[in-house]
Structure 1
Amino acid sequence: MAEKENLRRIADMGTLKAIAHPLRMKLYRALYVARTATASQLADQVDEAPSLVSYHLRKLAEHGLIEEAEPRSEDGRERWWQPASEGVSIHDEDFRDAPEKRAAHLAATRLFHEQRSDMYRRYLDERPTWAPEWNTAAPDNESLLRLTATELSELGAELIALIKKYDEKGRADEAAGATEGRENVALHVYGFPFRP
């Protein structure tokens, strides 16, 4: 397999629509966390039939979002999948030039935010089952700043760089065998202008 792209920038309607399907986004997220998986493994996670999951995985693959991975078992009938890049990015400026593109981008963004909110609500519901150190470590804050658009863009880039640093460290430590106490962590950061 070729070297993975750092981040796959989605700039066309076909790929945006492919990933902006509710089940496909869940599958992409689950595959990103697992790094490699079969349709059956992912079907268990999303509580759907393996045949339906296989169909949606093929749609993601058609758009280069995921790719076949090296088999992890002797069963030659199993098809293994992995993300084709280290993540995806979707930028507003790629979808501004036509009303239907703006509408598709808005619908996709709303879906992603709804799914992120669902993830956080699930954590809140399950909070009593997590060890106290996880509940203490989980940040929940709001900052109301006075910035220019340029400053907000710079802040976003710095936050992404910091997140990438911790992700790379965590993956390297895990690859070296330091898995004790390690969990999947979702970090959602939003920055947007508002008027009181």
Structure 2
Amino acid sequence: MVSKENRRITDMGTLKALAHPLRMKLYRALYLERVATASRLAELVDEAVSLVSYHLRKLAEHGLIEEAEPQSEDGRERWWRPASDGVSIHDEDFQDAPEKVAAHTSASRLFYAQRSELYHRHLDERAHWGAEWNSASFDSEYLSRLTPAELSELSRELHDLLKKYDEQGRAAVAAGDTQGRENVALHVYGFPFRV
């Protein structure tokens, strides 16, 4: 059964398993689909089914995804689902050795690059979304002077607000209300910097 909590990744093996470009795309696609076969995911990421199957097994070896109940009569297909309601990776779990710092930094850069690529694709396709989606879409930059405690509190409050909207959307879809709904990405970064 899928855990309702985020899985906190604390070990190098799991971090490295997720920090592979195709595996992260597969994890993201499966998170959105909730339940899917390798064939469906291969369509979504435009890769060969055999390659996708291999990488799904690697994600499963690290407990990031798990087999799901079959959704069709075709017993030949394996169905997959996320093993938790998301993952989280915290800096403090990878600071006790130089190789852990390097792995965490590398993974963070990959995740950022994929998020950036997703936003660039949105910019390129913006004209095709129509006026309603374009007026609803946003990008913002806020520059604040905060303490670490205030930034942590802001992060928790944003997480709670986003979780509320995610749960609301999933409940609506489960009730059959899919009209006008699309996948929406919201990328939020909060970090200190000096000018």
Normalising by the smaller structure, the TM-score range is over 0.9
Q: Distance in 2 between matches of 1:159 and 1:4?
A: 21
Partner of 2:144: 145
RMSD, aligned α-carbons = 0.8
Partner of 1:73: 72
Give secondary structure in 2 for the equivalent of 1:68: strand
Alpha-carbon contact 1:5-1:84 (below 8 Å) kept: no
Alpha-carbon contact 2:23-2:55 (below 8 Å) kept: yes
Q: What letter corresponds to residue 23 of structure 1 in structure 2?
A: L
Alpha-carbon contact 2:9-2:89 (below 8 Å) kept: yes
Alpha-carbon contact 2:2-2:85 (below 8 Å) kept: no
| Uncovered stretches (5+) of structure 2, i.e. residues with no partner | none
Partner of 1:154: 153
- Percent identical across equivalent pairs? 73
Partner of 1:166: 165
Cα deviation, 1:137-195, whole Å, max 9, x if unaligned, reads 11211000010011001001100000000011111111112111111000000001110
Q: What letter corresponds to residue 66 of structure 2 in structure 1?
A: E
Cα deviation, 1:75-130, whole Å, max 9, x if unaligned, reads 11100000000000000000000000000000000000000000000000000000
Q: Distance in 2 between matches of 1:159 and 1:39?
A: 33
Partner of 1:85: 84
Matches within 5 A, 1:24-39: 24-39=23-38
Give secondary structure in 2 for the equivalent of 1:86: coil
Deviation at 1:45, TM superposition (A): 1.3
Matches within 5 A, 1:74-153: 74-153=73-152
Q: Distance in 2 between matches of 1:39 and 1:57?
A: 8
Matches within 5 A, 1:44-59: 44-59=43-58
Q: Distance in 2 between matches of 1:149 and 1:68?
A: 40
Give secondary structure in 2 for the equivalent of 1:89: strand
Partner of 1:19: 18
Deviation at 1:5, TM superposition (A): 3.9
Q: Distance in 1 between matches of 2:39 and 2:65?
A: 16
Matches within 5 A, 1:171-182: 171-182=170-181
Give secondary structure in 2 for the equivalent of 1:180: coil
Alpha-carbon contact 2:6-2:88 (below 8 Å) kept: yes
Q: Stretches of 4+ moved more than 3 A in 1? A: none
TM-score (norm 1): 0.98
Give secondary structure in 1 for the equivalent of 2:179: coil
| Uncovered stretches (5+) of structure 1, i.e. residues with no partner | none
Q: Does 1:4 align with 2:6?
A: no
Q: What letter corresponds to residue 36 of structure 1 in structure 2?
A: V
Distance 1:58 1:3, change over 3 A: closer
